[in-house]
Amino acid sequence: MCSNKNHILRSSGVYLLLCFVVLNSMGCSSFNALEKRTFVADETLQRVQVERGRPNPIIDTAGRALGLPNRIAIGKAGVDNHQITQATEMAVVNYLEQNRLGSVLVRSNQYSPIGELRRTIANDRIRPIWKTTFGTYNLLKYTLLPGRLTGGDWYNPYSDSLHIYSDEPTLAISRAAYAQDLRTRVNPGAYAAIKDIPVAGLAHETTATQLALQWYEDKPDQIDNAREILLPSYGASVGGQIASFVPYGEVVGRMIGGGAGRIASEVKKRR
């Protein structure tokens, strides 16, 4: 038993080192040096629709309890709290509309498997081969492990839906940035499929985080707070995916990566 514990501790140390290396090479320098990207949408300006789930004290309380590790990793009370305010919804809607992503449906703490199935079928931006394979996988994951309970803000490219469970606008915007990134891809279905591959999906996470930080560059009063959320979130993703190869290591990896992200955020703030 002791040897197993020592092995886990040593592995955690390695993951921490890797997280720092990745954050330093991909986060601390390139996040500021990101070249401004030109975004061209294939749709006219349209209003983003928001669908809200009905409050359920039992489910939402359980969801907040299950979201505790993620809240600790990112270090913000609003993460996975399942109490999304109108201000958060308006912030993400503004981002989507400003970037001409009006087709994206925002599901605010909502569970709607049938609705997701219908949107997946109707989404003509993704080829059928990707919708019937990876799209089905994402739909099953959403149905069997509902974010309404487990949390985890995310964008589903196959249904073109943004799912938010956190009252943190910056976190929602970083997920919406993935939708923006996807619009620039020649084959969005293949690009989205790569995201479901462990570690390979970090490239998507990096780009989305960069785009979100770019959004806040012209908002001096918000950039520090944005970094305080985005860098820990990014670090948690890095640590979680790296540690996922170790049994039960994902939660520990997210904690370590989130801590590394908070350190990187503080360093950027002091500079």
Structural domain boundaries enclosing 77: 44-270
Residue 3 CA, distance from chain mean position: 35
Q: To which residue do tokens 């640590």 refer? A: 239
Residue 205 has pLDDT above 60, yes or no: yes
The answer to whether position 34 is within a domain reads: no
The answer to whether position 185 is within a domain reads: yes
Number of independent structural domains in the chain: 1
Phi, psi of 63, deg, nearest 5: -65, -40
Tell me the whole-structure pTM to 2 decimals: 0.82
Q: How far apart are CA 271 and CA 267, in angstroms?
A: 6
The answer to whether position 81 is within a domain reads: yes
Phi, psi of 139, deg, nearest 5: -65, -40
The answer to whether position 26 is within a domain reads: no
The answer to whether position 29 is within a domain reads: no
The answer to whether position 18 is within a domain reads: no
End-to-end CA distance of the chain: 44
The answer to whether position 206 is within a domain reads: yes
Which pLDDT tens digit goes with each residue over 109-157?
999 999 999 999 999 999 999 999 999 999 999 999 999 999 999 999 9
The answer to whether position 8 is within a domain reads: no
Identify the pLDDT of residue 265. Answer: 85
